[in-house]
Structures are given as C-alpha cells and as structure tokens.
A and B are shown apart, each in its own frame.
Chain A
Amino acid sequence: MTGVIKGAEGYLIAAYLLTWTVVLGYGFCLFARWRKLCKKS
C-alpha cells in the first residue's frame, strides 16, 4: 500500500458504503413512490 496515510481503508469502505446506500435507498424510495402513485386511480 502506497501513500503517507496508512490504515485509512476503513474510511474508504465507509465512503463507498454510504454512496451505495444513498443511491440504492433514494432510488428505491423514488421508484416505490412512483409505482404507488401510478396505481392510484
């Protein structure tokens, strides 16, 4: 592993987990709201 900062992989994992949580979470909420509203007559 290169770089002056060692042992910071946890921050990298946390950042990518957060990114995927936001993308999938927000995306799913939007999709579910869209589907729910489309079913309403």
Chain B
Amino acid sequence: MKKYIAAILALGFFAFAQWWGLTQTPSDAMMGAVQKIMYAHVPAAWNSFIAFFVVFVSSLLFLIRKKIFWDRLAASAAEVGVALTGLTLCLGSIWGRPTWGVWWTWDARLTTTAILFFLYVGYLSFRKFIEDPEKRAKLAAPLGVLIFLNVPIVYMSVRWWRTLHQVQSSPSTMDPAMVLALRLNAFAFLGLLILFIYWRYKIAKRKGELEEGL
C-alpha cells in the first residue's frame, strides 16, 4: 500500500490544482475562458525544462563519476521530459487555434520548442541503437550535456526574436488569483514529474539487472 500513497497524493494534488485553475480563477479580459489552458500548458513547459536539467546534471555526473545510476537517471528524466514537451506543444497548438487563428506557425518559441522535442527524441533513439550498457552510457552522456544548450535558447527565444508568442508574464502583470493557480499547477506537475522519473528509473534499474542476469 505504501508505494501507492505517493501516486495517490500526486494525482490527488494534480486533480485539485487543475480544478482550482478551471473554477477558481477569473477569465482573461481578451481571451476569455480559453486562456485557462495556461494552467496546463505553462506548468508542463516549466517541468519539461526541469526534466531536461536533470538529464544535463546526471549526464555531467556520469562523465565525472562513471556510475551507471546517473546514466539511468538521465534516460528516465529524458523520457518524462519528452512526454511533457509533447504535451506542451499540443496544448499550445490547441490554444493557438482560437487565439492566433492557426494550429501551428513558425514562430521562434514554437520552432525552438519543436527542435527541443526532436533533440530529446533523438537522444532516446540513439540510446536504443546501442546494446552494450557501458558503451551506451559513455556515448549518451556527452549528448545529454550538449543538447541541453537548446533549453536556454527556448526560454530566451521570446525575447531574442519578437514574433507571435508572448514574452514571459510576471506576477506583477497578472491577476493574483491567476498567479496562485499557476503556482499550484506548477507544483502539481512537479509532483508528477518526480513520481514518473522515479518509476521510470526503477524500470531502467530492473531492466539493467535482468540484462546482467542478476
């Protein structure tokens, strides 16, 4: 029962945060109710950055310490990060259709995020091609460090290239009720991120043990 408690708590808090965002916040003066997509879109994006930061740090630590734990953690975080980036892109597309009139446009933020998504899909695919766990870890670690360079580019893209996507909002430019809902959802997504990385790491560890015949 103990192992289910974390999952129940994370999912329960997520459900509460989503309900709060949908029902306890005002609608945007311009966009109306559709703006509430923000409470899923933005936290998913933030947490995908956290996941990719975990990949970056774990890859660096593997290069320094050569422990397989760090390689497994990097692979686990990359997979969860890809799922969250995919969700971010799809939610952005659904939000873009009624507000911009298009499902997709080659805006700087959208394009750099799509590149980020495919870089990490490439990282995961690259890992699948190498069967030897040691060789895989040695080759994947520099890649995990290198591709993280795109994350700050994605973050800064709205400031460097002024295209369609709005720049980052700050608490001073938002209604306090919106700020609270956004923070609640950010922490709710963080809970799920930790849970999913933990489960994915357990899978990677068990697979490794089975491969070694332990």
Contact = CB atoms under 8 A, between A and B. Distances in A.
A26 B18 contact: no
Interface string A1-31: 1111110110110111011101100110011
A12 B37 CA distance: 6
B137 to A, nearest CB: 19
Grouping DSSP codes into helix (H, G, I), strand (E, B) and loop, the B interface class, with mixed when no group exceeds half, is helix
Grouping DSSP codes into helix (H, G, I), strand (E, B) and loop, the A interface class, with mixed when no group exceeds half, is helix
Counting contact residues on chain B (CB < 8 A from A), the size range is 35 or more
B95 interface: yes
Contacts of A27: 7, 11, 192, 195-196, 199
A23 B199 contact: no
B199 A34 contact: yes
A1 B32 CA distance: 7
A40 B207 CA distance: 10
A30 B94 contact: no
Given A16-B22, A19-B18, A27-B192, A3 B87 contact: no
Interface of B: 7, 11, 14, 18, 22, 26-37, 40-41, 44, 83, 86-87, 90-91, 94-95, 97-99, 192, 195-196, 199-200, 202-203, 206-207, 210
Interface of A: 1-6, 8-9, 11-12, 14-16, 18-20, 22-23, 26-27, 30-31, 33-34, 37-38, 40
